[in-house]
Amino acid sequence: MINFPYVSLPEYYTRLLSSNIQNSTQVNNNLELYINENKDLNALVKRIFKDIDPDGFLGKILSISGWTGIRNRLAAIFLEHAMTGKFPETANLSLVNELVNVENKLRHFTPPGGNRAFMLAFYAKMSLIKIKMSSDSREHSALIIKDEHIEFMKLSKAKSVRIDWLMLQLIQFEHFLGLERMQDLLKAETRYASLFSLLSYEEQQQMINNFLVYGASINDTEIFTGDVSTQ
């Protein structure tokens, strides 16, 4: 049974990853304001961008690195903190290569400026680290994003804003129904409700629980309280 772990991800970071951010002067101004308003985030950004500006001038950091540069360095230090318990002085960007790779593969299936594919991959890697560090690793299973799951997206007729949630559905359906059957069902344009009805009661409950765990991990409550049916 697939059972994802809860991972406490920084709310001030996942809020950014949930947003559509495209490089522009106005976006940089808004990011600068947001970073200045979040003391912990501000301290981290200034700490890991000393190579760009030793005084931590955010305008310069944003101008040179852009949103993606800041996003990737933050992900790298959060991953290293999860592994070592300490925040490093510099970001090891090799830690985010897998995340960027997943994002690039899903880029054509979500609108420009979205960061949710990156966030899904970030949660997946953090979940793997948590399980490896756990005393009872058999209790949970890490989220694994396979190329086969990404191939499912080629059968989609529209781009998805909340591609992380869509991928989370596809990954679990493939786990419960099997790859070949899932491919056939998607090619037949089987809707979510019909796919869900094919699962046993226990599988349905596990899938719902995994949704709750992921939503809590990324601090996303809108998926449960708002109308996101068109996203």
DSSP assigned state of 155: G
What is the rounded CA–CA span in Å between residue 73 and residue 70? 5
| Per-residue pLDDT reduced to its tens digit, 1-13 | 789 999 999 999 9
Domain positions in the chain: 11-225
CA-wise closest residue to 165 among 107, 222, 96: 222
User: DSSP string of 22-68?
Assistant: --SHHHHHHHHHHHHH-HHHHHHHHHHTTTT-TT--HHHHHHHHHHH
Judge contact between 219 and 12, C-beta under 8 A: no
Judge contact between 74 and 32, C-beta under 8 A: no
What is the rounded CA–CA span in Å between residue 199 and residue 216? 24
Q: Specify the pLDDT at position 64.
A: 93
In this structure, the number of other CB atoms found within 10 A of the CB of residue 7 comes to 23
Mean pLDDT, range 60-75, rounded to an integer: 94
Q: 230 pLDDT band (50/70/90 cuts)? A: very low
| Per-residue pLDDT reduced to its tens digit, 155-187 | 988 899 999 999 999 999 999 999 999 999 999
Mean pLDDT, range 25-32, rounded to an integer: 84
| Per-residue pLDDT reduced to its tens digit, 117-139 | 999 999 999 999 999 987 666 78
Encoded amino acid at 93, one letter: L
Judge contact between 137 and 128, C-beta under 8 A: no
Q: Give the residue carrying structure tokens 């949710």.
A: 116
What is the rounded CA–CA span in Å between residue 193 and residue 207? 13
